[in-house]
Amino acid sequence: MKIEEITLYHVAQRLKTPFVTSFGAQQARQCLLLRLRAEGVTAWGECVATNSPGYSYETVKTAWHVLSDFLIPSILGQDIEEPDELAGYFKGVRGHPLAKATLDQALWDATAQRDGVSMATKLAAPYKEGPRSRVPVGVSVGLQASLAATVATVGEYIDKGYRRIKLKIKPGKDVAVAAAIREAFPDVALMLDANSAYTLADASLLAEMDQFNLLMIEQPLGYDDIYDHSQLRPLIQSPLCLDESIHSAEHTRYAIVMGACDIINIKPARVGGWTEARRVHDLCVEAGLGVWCGGMLETGIGRAAQLALASLPGFTLPGDISATERYYEQDVTTPFELNREDSTIDVPTGPGLGIEVDEAYIETISLQQERFNV
């Protein structure tokens, strides 16, 4: 497919409620959206880099620079048949996985449309079983002002139909928070996400979490660490999940060899796109590690692609792909809704991402845009 035109949008949306983690609070969410046109097909990608470099060193400004000055020029006018060819065009750019994932997603969308299949079906092509029609999902609850507020917020999400709750924690807001939720909701699937807020010296505190029958503890130690997690794992009973420190299939291999985790949160943007995310998935399945799909407050464009990935056979744990109404009053696509009876979301079945994109609305929330033509 000849890449004929790419348009980059810097957009801003307001979250319905502030999302608070150990990095800080976020309510005004910025991201990049990318429209790609190739041989009559219009495809979309989303860059989840946001306002600040808390989760990743990439921000909307750095991603705009890398995309507009390096990545987009490298593929504009080129004939690219499959997404895995992108790595060859990107080899001159070290790092910047969130920026690279934007184009990777758009190529998966474009080539799936060309092939007349959904992105989920195209991703599942190597496996004996096709993609799931629904994927189990949960909700991530940010740090709240009090224990009572945390219990109330979790209760609201359970009432909406969510069966898995992820709580953000940090030093000083950890054991008591988990205890309050477990007491109020003894049967809910519960996990804790530390976003790298602890060190190995906190092992005894993290072991206290074992009493709460957790689904997992996610990334308690350093954001770039694998080794210390391998030392922590034998000291706790709760399944240990890695997130920030897994940036590629190679990092996944390191974690497997070191015995650093039981589970990996596969965020496709963090590993450079859906092509690499599928490789991570395959390594985890082979090694017997659990996998699930994490979220980055995506719009419907990114959420559709997440659902496609999470429909693969290894994704047996509920992901952070909540319904649209969890995040935005108005989204850039038709809404994704929660199936209350089983805490799932339907995987789009139309060609490519299988969604309708509201380009007029994107124009209204766009802070900056640039078009690149052959």
Q: Which residues are catalytic?
A: 168, 267
pLDDT for 84 equals: 96
* Residue 223: strand, helix, or coil: coil
* pLDDT tens digit sequence for 314-353: 999 999 999 998 888 899 999 999 999 999 999 999 999 9
Whole-number average pLDDT of the chain: 95
Contacts of 201 (CB under 8 A, 6+ apart): none
* pLDDT tens digit sequence for 156-212: 999 999 999 999 999 999 999 999 999 999 999 999 999 999 999 999 999 999 999
Contacts of 118 (CB under 8 A, 6+ apart): 112, 131, 308, 347, 348, 349, 350, 351, 352, 354
Rg of the chain over all Cα atoms, to the nearest angstrom: 20
Residue 141: beta bridge partners?
167
How close are the terminal C-alpha atoms of the chain, in Å?
Answer: 13
At position 7, the amino acid (one-letter code) is T
pLDDT for 329 equals: 85
